[in-house]
Amino acid sequence: MKMQCALIATAVLALCACSAPDEAAPSAPSVRPPITGTAYVDVTALAQRHPFADALAQMDREIAALRTAGGGSALEQSTATIAHGIAAVRNDAARAQVDAGFVQARAMPDLTSVPASAQRAGASESGAYRNALVAQEQFALTTLANSLSERTQRAYSARAQELRERESNLALTLAERDAGSALNLRIKLQAIKLAPNLRARLQRRLDALMDSQSNAVDAQRRSDAVTLASYLTELRASAKSEFARAALRLRSQTEANWTLRERVAQAQARGSQALSAANATSFQMPAPVQPQFSAAAGDIASQFRSVSAADAAARAGAAQEIAALEQARTALRAQVLALIRHDATSIAAQRGLRLVDRPRAGSTDLTSAVSAKITAEFGE
């Protein structure tokens, strides 16, 4: 996704650069009318209607998809649960060592019932946690699918427009090439005194000339249709591949979070069972309890650190993608605003007005004029 987002941002910025005024190009001196008033534009409205507004919105959607795919809430909640579980096991180990020093045998019916109740509570909590992970994954996949579909449609439309313009240019080129011959034939055909067989021969030559132009344009149109169909297949295959990679990554992250949560629950259950057994047989307990619980706590901490490290790496990668995309979006928006202000300043100067940041008494609203100029510049 990072490469795709970077390509989109680079392409759009390149278009902006092409649309920007060439300050270095020499221009003929022009006399502008004296300043007689002020003018303003609604920058927010113009930015929303700008041809690059869709690109900015697309960047926002992809940033949101990356943030959603990066997750955060479920693992942050499980982190607190894991830390609490490790502390609980260590506390249980300390209490077990103290209990092991007693010689008096005591019955502990309340402790023997703890594992069963803990298991019931843990099962309910685990189910809710699992549902939250699945819902989060589905939301991220849906957002990504919509984003990829919109991007595919936009790329396809742009390529189709490019091919249509090429066909129009070909038709114009052929018409210009044959303009002299066609005009000569039409002039001859307009002659009043013209033998029927000569008129028929001239008409056939004119028809053949027109047919050659139409055939050339039709051949180009058929070739472009094949090219466009192939391009659409490539776009769909690329989107499908990207979606599959993202889905695999999301499912792997979901399973990692779920596995980590289950390991903590199992370790807590083992700790509670060991503590109950230790208290039930505390008379001259021969085996030390503290090493057993210390090993369990150490195992939990080790497992958590490995999974947490992997998750941190994934989060760092997503953060880098988001930062790069946000930087590109900021640059694009700044370029859009600069283009709007340039056009507004130019139109205001042509009308003898000075552009101001906000409306004043007697100021002229140039929003519609600037919008029309932008539409004309970008061919929309």
Residue 329 has pLDDT above 80, yes or no: yes
Provide, rounded to the nearest whole percent, the portion of the chain with pLDDT above 70: 64
Per-residue exposure over 171-202, b if at least 16 CB sit within 10 Å of its own CB, e if not:
beebeeebeeebeebeeeeeeeeeeeeeeeeb
Mean pLDDT of 198-211: 91
Nearest to 104 by CA among 268, 282, 236, 258: 282
Torsion on CA atoms 134, 135, 139, 145, rounded to nearest 10 = 40
Q: What is the chain's length?
A: 380
What pLDDT, on the 0 to 100 scale, is given for residue 150? Answer: 92
Query: What is the pLDDT, as a whole number, of residue 283?
Result: 43
Q: For residue 162, with 0-12 CB atoms within 10 Å meaning exposed, 13-18 middle and 19 or more buried, which class applies?
A: exposed
Mean pLDDT of 258-280: 68
d(CA 178, CA 156) in angstroms, rounded, equals 33
* Structural contact between residues 168 and 203, judged by C-beta atoms closer than 8 angstroms: no
Residue 37 pLDDT: 85
Say if CB 296 and CB 89 are below 8 A apart. yes
Structure confidence at residue 335 as a pLDDT band (50, 70, 90) = confident
Question: Looking at 74-78, 160-164, 317-321, which range is the least confident one?
Answer: 74-78
Per residue in 173-197, pLDDT (tens digit) is 999 999 999 999 888 888 778 888 9
- Check pLDDT > 80 for residue 277: no
Lowest pLDDT segment from 55-59, 150-154, 281-285: 281-285
* Spatial separation of the C-alpha atoms in residues 225 and 85, rounded to whole Å: 63
For residue 111, the model assigns a pLDDT of 43
* Token digits of residue 20: 């920007």
Find how far residue 6's CA is from the centre of its chain.
Answer: 10
34 or 300, higher pLDDT: 34
Angle at 80 between CA 64 and CA 288, to 5 degrees: 150
Judged against a pLDDT cut of 70, whether residue 349 lies above it is answered with: yes
- The answer to whether the predicted template modeling score (pTM) of the entire model surpasses 0.85 is no
The per-residue DSSP string of 211-244 comes to HHHHHHHHHHHHHHHHHHHHHHHHHHHHHHHHHH
**Does position 165 have pLDDT exceeding 80, yes or no?**
yes
Between the ranges 54-63, 135-144, 229-238, 286-295, where is the mean pLDDT highest?
A: 229-238
Q: pLDDT band at residue 105, thresholds of 50, 70 and 90?
A: very low
Closest CA to 74 of 124, 131, 120: 131
**Hey, where are the domains in the chain?**
32-378
CA gap 233, 15 in Å, rounded: 25
| Of 263, 268, 258, 253, residue with least CA distance to 303 | 263
- CA triple 171-174-178, angle to 5 deg: 140
318 or 147, greater pLDDT: 147
Cα(120)–Cα(71) distance, integer angstroms: 28
pLDDT given at position 53: 83
Backbone torsions φ then ψ of 345, nearest 5 degrees: -65, -40
Q: Mind listing the pLDDT tens digit for each residue in 294-315? A: 665 566 556 656 656 666 676 7
d(CA 358, CA 91): 66
Exposure letters 122-142 (e unless 16+ CB within 10 A, then b): beeeeeebbeebeebbeebbe
Q: 299 is written with which tokens?
A: 């195992």
SS3 content of the chain, % helix, strand, coil (to 5): 80, 0, 15
- Express as a percent the part of the chain with pLDDT over 90: 22
pLDDT mean over 37-55? 87
Are 52 and 336 in contact by the 8 Å Cβ rule? The answer is: yes
69 Rama class: left (phi>0) / alpha (psi -120 to 50) / beta: alpha
| Average pLDDT in the chain | 75
pLDDT of residue 376: 82
Integer Cα distance of 89 and 214 in angstroms: 84
**Listed ranges 75-84, 158-167, 288-297; the one with the highest mean pLDDT:** 158-167
Query: 367 near 46, Cβ under 8 Å?
Result: yes
- Of 238-252, 311-325, 354-368, the least confident: 311-325
Is the CB of residue 72 less than 8 Å from the CB of residue 315? yes
Q: Are strands 364-365 and 37-40 parallel, antiparallel or unpaired?
A: parallel
pLDDT at 262: 77
